[in-house]
Amino acid sequence: MKLIQANDNNAFEILYSRYRIPVHSYLSGLVNSNTADTIVEELLQETFIKVITKNSTFKYESKVKTWIWTIAKNTLHDYWRSVDHRISQSLDSLHSEESGEELYASPLDSQEDLFLSKVTKQQLDACIKELPEDQREIVFLHIQSELSNQEISELTGASVGAIKSTLFRCKEKLTACFKRGGHL
């Protein structure tokens, strides 16, 4: 980070290569729109442009990854505020860009794995979209950011206990949804 603050572009490229996929996956999991791909790419660009231009505001009071995820989260929330995404969410819940029934390859080391291996992308997307937005955000922060529950708690304002119980409840909801075949 010190190198980035000293205008070292190579240092930024290393940072970008480290976070490009997790941040894109996080945004992608939380943006529901007919033009989700375009919007996610725009939000990704906005996030990293803020990382570049606001690098001097990083004061080493937190970890770099916490700072980056804070920027990504705020960028997403700004987008949510800028559009009436709740309307589009309800419309898009009926829409799936993936029409294929491609099966995910999963390690078949148990009956549970066998069950999950039969979950299609369409079912997975539909089940994830079924989760309430605040819970979905916690799930995607948990799975993509590599932040601890304590760090997610600081980022979202929810208690560590609430985060743990949210993750547990979401797992139950998703599993139940998979068993229903992804039907809403």
Partner 1 sequence: MKTNNTFYSWIALKTQTEPSSTADKKILAFSSQYFKKEEKSFFALWKLTGAFALTAAVVLVVLINKNSSIQPGSALMSEAPEMILHYNDIELMADASRLSDADWARINGQK
Where does this chain bind partner 1 (CB under 8 A)?
Answer: 7-9, 12-13, 16, 20-21, 24-25, 28-29, 40-41, 44-45, 48-49, 52-53, 104, 106, 110, 112-113, 116, 121, 124, 128, 139-140, 142-144, 167-168, 171, 174-175
Query: Hey, what are 168's tokens?
Result: 């547990």
Residue 68 or residue 128: which is nearer to partner 1 going by CB? 128
| Nearest distance from C-beta of residue 44 to partner 1, angstroms | 6
| Nearest distance from C-beta of residue 137 to partner 1, angstroms | 13
Residue 74 or residue 87: which is nearer to partner 1 going by CB? 74
| Nearest distance from C-beta of residue 60 to partner 1, angstroms | 20
Residue 98 · residue 37 · CB < 8 Å: no
| Nearest distance from C-beta of residue 12 to partner 1, angstroms | 5
Exposure of 66 by Cβ count < 10 A (0-12 exposed, 13-18 middle, 19+ buried)?
Answer: middle
Reduced DSSP (H G I as helix, E B as strand, rest coil) percent helix, strand, coil of the chain, to 5: 70, 0, 30
Q: Which of 16, 36, 143, 47 is nearest to 88 (CA)?
A: 36
